[in-house]
Amino acid sequence: MSATHDTIMKALSAVILPNGQSLVDADLVRALRIGNGEVSFVLEAPDSVLAQSLGPVEEKARTILLALEGVSKVSIVTTAHGPAGSTPKPAAAGGEPPSLKIGRHPTPQQGKQGVPGVKHIIAIASGKGGVGKSTVSANLAVALAKQGRKVGLLDADIYGPSQPRMMGVNKRPASPDGQTIEPLHAHGVTLMSIGLMIPDGEAVVWRGPMLMGAMQQMLGQVAWGELDVLLIDMPPGTGDVQLTLGQKTELTGALVVSTPQDVALIDARRGISMFEKLNVPVLGLIENMSTYTCPNCGHEAHIFGHGGVADEAKKMDVPLLAQLPLALEARIAGDEGTPIAATDSPLAAPYANLARSLVMLGVA
Ligand SMILES: Nc1ncnc2c1ncn2[C@@H]1O[C@H](COP(=O)(O)OP(=O)(O)OP(=O)(O)O)[C@@H](O)[C@H]1O
């Protein structure tokens, strides 16, 4: 027998909060989803102090639900919907600094906002996944930093964060005061990844408003400092993160990455038209994996087709800012945490040119 909404809620009504109320009576359960033996929901506390004390409650709820017939996995995300950081959090046991919980309801906001101290914000997007958007973001950030720009890189890909690996960092950013988050630093770039703040698998239960809240925290509560440009590595496609960012953030513009394949281009077109609808200027298209030169014989092949991105750029009247080759060396460099742009390889040159173009355009 599989669990139903009613059986889950009934089981959760046996979980008692420190104030004596049950989880259900206190109305803290949100976004309950049941499917394939998995139960996921959000525990929404009214303030961050209560949210901090919910660890044992979360454990109890998990134990009770796992004992139900047909439930094999339970995912719970605890959030607070008071203004984030409005109540300083106590230091964790062992004197560690308190850590700031990411994922909350958004703070109401009038119109688009910038990030104090940050001159330009550029979204790096792609319609389709896996076309190299994160690779381009990491390398462009490093190339701009090498040219003396103060650069921030925000990995906003909540479902598949890859910047920690590509930039070679993997520690959870600290929040010494429980209100601001100290970003990390690598290869001359100030770095923050939303993925470093969310326990594995929890983001999948987030709804639009929670994502919006998390993005607000990433932009407003990270101590970015003075930056010439903040690059945002977006999730692929045209989902909630893209919409939130386009509607709520003063973006200088967007760069859209595509491979020359038709399927990638169709999705890239969709991405471009979304930015246009949101009044975000599309600064240009970037063609990734455009050519492959055989390291043995020097033969040049166009594995994913040829000319498609240039044609598309012409059709849509947006500049084609770079054509980046498919290269094993670039892939290995990314996997090992040192983007190819940080090295002396000839493959760093196209990124240096792209960085120069953006500086000349006055957007970075
Ligand atoms: N020009 C390139 N040459 C060789 N390998 C590349 C190149 N660009 C990207 N890759 C490799 O392709 C894979 C996917 O790239 P990447 O993660 O940057 O794509 P993405 O569009 O950000 O993907 P996702 O949709 O998962 O966010 C990675 O292993 C990366 O190293």
**Which domain-ending residue is among 56, 82, 108?**
82
**Token couple for 153:** 């890189």
Distance, in Å, from the CA atom of 270 to the CA atom of 258, rounded to the nearest integer, reads: 12
Mean pLDDT, the chain, integer: 84
- Minimum CA distance residue for ligand 1 atom 11: 331
Q: Let me know if residue 63 belongs to a domain.
A: yes
Are residues 316 and 181 part of one domain? yes
Q: Which residue has the higher pLDDT, 18 or 143?
A: 143
237 is in an annotated binding site: no
Is 103's pLDDT higher than 70?
A: no
Which residue spans within the chain are E strands per DSSP?
Answer: 29-35, 38-45, 73-80, 118-125, 151-155, 184-186, 189-193, 227-233, 253-258, 282-293, 300-301, 320-326
Distance, in Å, from the CA atom of 258 to the CA atom of 274, rounded to the nearest integer, reads: 15
Q: Let me know if residue 92 belongs to a domain.
A: no
State the distance from the centre of ligand 1 to the C-alpha of 130, rounded, in angstroms: 5
Q: Let me know if residue 133 belongs to a domain.
A: yes
Binding site membership of 288 for ligand 1 (Cβ less than 6 Å): yes
Is 3's pLDDT higher than 50?
A: yes
168 is in an annotated binding site: no
Q: What is the CATH classification number for the domain harbouring 64?
A: 3.30.300.130
- Ranges 50-54, 164-168, 198-202, 290-294: which has the least confidence: 198-202
Q: Let me know if residue 192 belongs to a domain.
A: yes
Q: What is the mean predicted confidence (pLDDT) over 64-75? A: 92
127 is in an annotated binding site: yes
Q: In the block, which residue shows the tokens 């990995």?
A: 155
Is 89's pLDDT higher than 60?
A: no
Q: How confident is the model at residue 109 (pLDDT cuts 50, 70, 90)?
A: confident
- What is the percent of the chain with per-residue pLDDT over 70, rounded to a whole number? 88
Are residues 189 and 56 part of one domain? no
CB within 8 A of 356, min separation 6: which ones? Answer: 147
| pTM for the model | 0.74
**Phi/psi at 342 (nearest 5 deg)?**
-85, -5
Q: How confident is the model at residue 11 (pLDDT cuts 50, 70, 90)?
A: very high
Choose among 6, 67, 63: nearest CA to 34: 6
Are residues 333 and 213 part of one domain? yes
ipTM for the assembly: 0.97
The domain total for the chain is 2
Are residues 159 and 281 part of one domain? yes
State the distance from the centre of ligand 1 to the C-alpha of 167, rounded, in angstroms: 13
Q: Which residues of 264-298 are buried (b: 16+ CB within 10 A; e: fewer)?
A: bbebbbebbebbeebebebbbbbbbbbbbeeeeee
- Minimum CA distance residue for ligand 1 atom 28: 331
Q: What is the mean predicted confidence (pLDDT) over 336-364? A: 95
Tell me if 210 sits within 8 A of 42, measured CB to CB.
yes
State the distance from the centre of ligand 1 to the C-alpha of 43, rounded, in angstroms: 35
Is 87's pLDDT higher than 60?
A: no
No. of helices (H) and no. of strands (E), the chain: 11, 12
Ligand 1 mutation pick, 134, 155, 323, 332, max ligand atoms within 8 A of CB: 134
Is 92's pLDDT higher than 70?
A: no
Distance, in Å, from the CA atom of 153 to the CA atom of 308, rounded to the nearest integer, reads: 29
Are residues 263 and 327 part of one domain? yes
Distance, in Å, from the CA atom of 152 to the CA atom of 144, rounded to the nearest integer, reads: 10
Are residues 127 and 76 part of one domain? no
**Which domain-ending residue is among 82, 105, 135?**
82
pLDDT digits (tens, 9 = 90+) for 249-291: 999 999 999 988 877 788 888 889 899 999 999 999 999 988 8
Are residues 297 and 341 part of one domain? yes
pLDDT digits (tens, 9 = 90+) for 189-230: 999 998 777 766 666 566 677 778 888 889 999 999 999 999
Are residues 134 and 271 part of one domain? yes
Q: Let me know if residue 96 belongs to a domain.
A: no
Choose among 327, 345, 325: nearest CA to 335: 327
Q: Let me know if residue 90 belongs to a domain.
A: no
Q: For position 355, what pLDDT does the model report? A: 97
Are residues 323 and 248 part of one domain? yes
Q: For position 29, what pLDDT does the model report? A: 82
220 is in an annotated binding site: no
Are residues 45 and 164 part of one domain? no
**Token couple for 309:** 């991105």
Choose among 215, 224, 171: nearest CA to 194: 215
Q: Let me know if residue 351 belongs to a domain.
A: yes
Are residues 252 and 180 part of one domain? yes
- Minimum CA distance residue for ligand 1 atom 30: 331
State the distance from the centre of ligand 1 to the C-alpha of 129, rounded, in angstroms: 9
Are residues 336 and 244 part of one domain? yes
Q: What is the mean predicted confidence (pLDDT) over 109-130? A: 90
Q: How confident is the model at residue 100 (pLDDT cuts 50, 70, 90)?
A: low
Range of the domain at 139: 118-360
Q: How confident is the model at residue 357 (pLDDT cuts 50, 70, 90)?
A: very high
Q: What is the mean predicted confidence (pLDDT) over 305-319? A: 84
Q: For position 225, what pLDDT does the model report? A: 96
Q: Let me know if residue 166 belongs to a domain.
A: yes
Q: What is the CATH classification number for the domain harbouring 123?
A: 3.40.50.300
Q: Which residue has the higher pLDDT, 78 or 228?
A: 228
- Ranges 120-129, 156-165, 200-209, 297-306: which has the least confidence: 200-209
Distance, in Å, from the CA atom of 124 to the CA atom of 134, rounded to the nearest integer, reads: 8
Binding site membership of 157 for ligand 1 (Cβ less than 6 Å): yes
Is 91's pLDDT higher than 70?
A: no
